Amino acid sequence: MRHNVFALIITVILGVCFLTLGFCDMSAEEILKKVAELGFKENFRLALTIKTYRGKKNESTRSLWVSGRLKQDKADFFFDFDEPQESKGLRFLLQIQPNQLPKVYMYLPATGKTLPVITDDPSADIGGTGLNVDDILGFAPKPGENYSISNDDKVDGQECWVIRINRPNNGGERLVWVRKKDFVIVKSRDLDANKQVTRTYRVTDFFKTEDGREFPREEEITMPKKNTRIVVRQEHAVFGIELFDQLFNPEEFGTFKWKD
């Protein structure tokens, strides 16, 4: 096991998208390039548990499989919901390419139909988890954003760079904490034009490999305005595996039987 799914998606998005931007501050750019270089490089399949809380109440617990691959400069992610029963068979396909809007497709087992998901629709919930498309794609660099190193800080006693991302289109900003010792993104915070926090992301649990490297096992996403907290935990993972092309084909991913 190596990464949790959102750490992986963050890394892949940075790798696919960030190098296409030529107007970033070089110091901040070099740090984020390093994040991408040291991160995801292999096909993977993860088993995840996602718990969604509204206030203190555990509103839902969902289990799903996530498969991902990086092919040249294109990244694909396949989501297959397993539990609870009412979510079983629900599938999503996420496709990311440089200089293009991400494409998201949803397969509904009740109807047997595949539908495109509008990626800028803030209400497009991912399988009842409380996450929407923007929660996943929020790390993708966007034209017009400005990058710089804000300052140094510590997260759980570990030295970090803090990257500030200014968003001229809406007056908001994002702060990203990158751990200096291994270039892992351990925390982020989104603020609106009034400097109110709209979303936070934080790695809450790590595990060590045999060679002593640390990787995220559990992450927490909070959205204060929605009174929502989401805990994503990796239960199992395999890397460097062959994945069926059908999982990443919009016409086939919904019905293809990849499991026995």
Ranges of each domain in the chain: 5-248
8-state DSSP, 132 = B
At residue 217, does pLDDT exceed 90?
no
The pTM of this model reads 0.78
| Residue type at position 232 | V
25 — pLDDT class (breaks 50, 70, 90): very low
Taking 3-state DSSP, the helix, strand and coil percentages for the chain, each rounded to the nearest 5, stand at: 15, 50, 35
* Superfamily of domain covering 5-248: Lipoprotein localisation LolA/LolB/LppX (2.50.20.10)
| Residue type at position 229 | R
* Average pLDDT for 26-48: 77
User: What stretch of H or E contains 17?
Assistant: helix 5-17
